[in-house]
Each structure stands twice: as C-alpha cells, then as structure tokens.
Amino acid sequence: MEKLNFSCKLGVLSRPDGSAMFCEGDLKISSFLGETIVIAGLYGPVEVKMQKVLIDKASVECSYRPKSGLPGVEDRLYESLIRNICETSLMAALYPRSAVLITLQEMHNNGQLISCAINAACLACLDSGIDMKFMFGSVTCFLTKQEELCLKPPINEKDIKAFFVFVFDNTKGRILASHTKGSFSKEQYEEALHLSREESKNVFIFFKKSMHTND
C-alpha cells in the first residue's frame, strides 16, 4: 500500500509557546491541492481562571476553528477528542493550578482533517518543549464502496463508504482514541486498525525527523 506523504513547519506562529503547520498530501503547501493542512498553537502553562483551577494538575483546553464560519457540533467533537488526547499525553501533574491552551485552525481539508489536527497538536506540544509522557500520532483509513481499504482519500468523495480515525502512542502502539463514520464489518474495522497502526510508525518517524531538522 502506498505510503502517506507528510510535511510540516514548526514555529509558524510568533505568539504561542509552540506551534506547527502539519500537512498530509502531495507536499505542495502553497497550492492546497490534494492536501489536508492544519495549524496548531500551544500556550502554556499559563495562568488559569479561578473557576477552572485544578490543584493537582494543569487544566487542558482546546479550541478548534473551521476554515470558514463558526464552529459547529462536529467541531466541538474535534475539540473534545483532541483535548482528551493531550490531557492523557501531557505531564499535567507538573503544572498544578495552571492551564495549557491548544488552538487549531483548519486551512484545507482533503479528508484527513481529524488526524491532521491531532498530529498538528502533537507537533505544537513538541515545539513548545512542554513535558510529555509520550508522543501521539493519528492516521485516517478509508473504506471505499468497492470494499477496499486505503490510507489516501479517494479522488471522488462519494466513493467513501466509511472512514476510521485511530490515535496511537509512540511507546507501545496503544490506541488512545478512535473515531469512525459509516457502515463496515468487524473484520474491516480490524484490518483498518492494523493498517493504521503500521502507518503510525511512519508518523512517529516523521515527527522525530522534524524535531531534529528544526533543532
């Protein structure tokens, strides 16, 4: 199966403590052709509002902004999913009575929006230098109407029967979260999980190379 193409730029925003633009597609960041692109920024640890203070750890908040218009119900789902993943991976106990704020801006969506947003969030965390228990990486797998699984979205969106989003850690390949949409069999789910877990290894290799390149 054809490998995915990734590219990223770290430190793309000046105000956050860490930021990253993550692109999955044909490596043509300026063209927005056949790509999914998300920019993430991390602020923190910063002072937290009194009503959100946690005495034993930092509170983690996430804000997702769609390419146009106001955030909808689906965008709130992305926020909740990414917040939970970040909360699990960050060493929040080192920063009690503070907050970590993660902002995500959709630039272009070619089908892998959730996984790209998650990967951008991880790179922003790494860029900020905040303490983490592990890295997290996400992969989207598509099931076509021809009952075929693929890691790249079909050219025609109508050919997609279902899609699977998996999030893994880089230590043991454990599933941190998953999100699915559409109809599929148990066997197809398990095969998509296997394909995504194998591809997540390439995601983590890319993360490490990106950090060394930007040292």
Domains of the chain are 6-213 (3.30.230.70)
Segment 46-66 shows an average pLDDT of 86
3-state secondary structure of 4: coil
Segment 119-127 shows an average pLDDT of 97
Q: What is the pLDDT of residue 150?
A: 93
Q: What is the pLDDT of residue 168?
A: 97
From the list 40, 61, 64, the residue with the least C-alpha distance to 119 is 40
Alpha-carbon distance of 61 to 84, in angstroms, equals 9
Q: Give percent above pLDDT 70 in the chain.
A: 93
Asked if the bond preceding 45 is cis, omega within 30° of 0, the reply is: yes
Q: What is the pLDDT of residue 215?
A: 57
**pLDDT confidence of 49, banded at 50, 70, 90?**
confident
Q: What is the pLDDT of residue 30?
A: 45
- Per the model's pLDDT, the better-predicted residue between 25 and 130 turns out to be 130
Range in 42-46, 101-105, 140-144 the model is least confident about? 42-46
**pLDDT confidence of 179, banded at 50, 70, 90?**
very high
Distant-in-sequence contacts of 148-151, Cβ < 8 A, 24+ apart: 149/188, 149/191, 149/192, 149/195, 150/1, 151/1, 151/2, 151/3, 151/4, 151/195, 151/196, 151/199
pLDDT tens per residue, range 16-47: 999 999 999 765 444 445 689 999 999 988 88
Q: List the structure tokens of 157.
A: 């969106």
